[in-house]
Amino acid sequence: MAEARSREELEEELQVVEDDIASLRPTLEDLRRTIGQQEDGPTDPEERSVQLQNVEEQEAILRRMEDRRVELLRRLGKE
């Protein structure tokens, strides 16, 4: 059975998760902006599909990190 984690360990993990969320959000914004711009000329459907898939994957990762953040806050009694 897994050993109970200390409050300090949970707070450290929370900080890592919050830092990761903070760095991923601007990346997602850049990806969305890139998809929305047509300045570089026409994008072929395959490239566009890959770009959209990348955004969807990053959004899924962000959702998992946000869920983890909520769980850590709950365990720390902060939410």
Per-residue pLDDT tens digits for 14-38: 999 999 999 999 999 998 888 877 6
Question: Do 20 and 65 meet the contact criterion of CB atoms below 8 Å apart?
Answer: yes
* Residue listed under structure tokens 């959702």: 63
Give domain limits for the chain.
45-79
Supply φ then ψ for residue 36, to 5 degrees. Answer: -75, -15
More confident residue, 11 or 42: 11
Over residues 30-57, mean pLDDT: 80
pLDDT of res. 70: 97
Taking alpha carbons only, the member of 27, 33, 18, 22 closest to residue 58 is 27
On the question of pLDDT at 2 being above 50, the answer is no
Specify the pTM: 0.80
Over residues 57-64, mean pLDDT: 97
Q: How far is CA 49 from the centre of its chain?
A: 20
On the question of pLDDT at 45 being above 60, the answer is yes
Stated as kind and residue range, the H or E segment containing 67 is helix 45-75
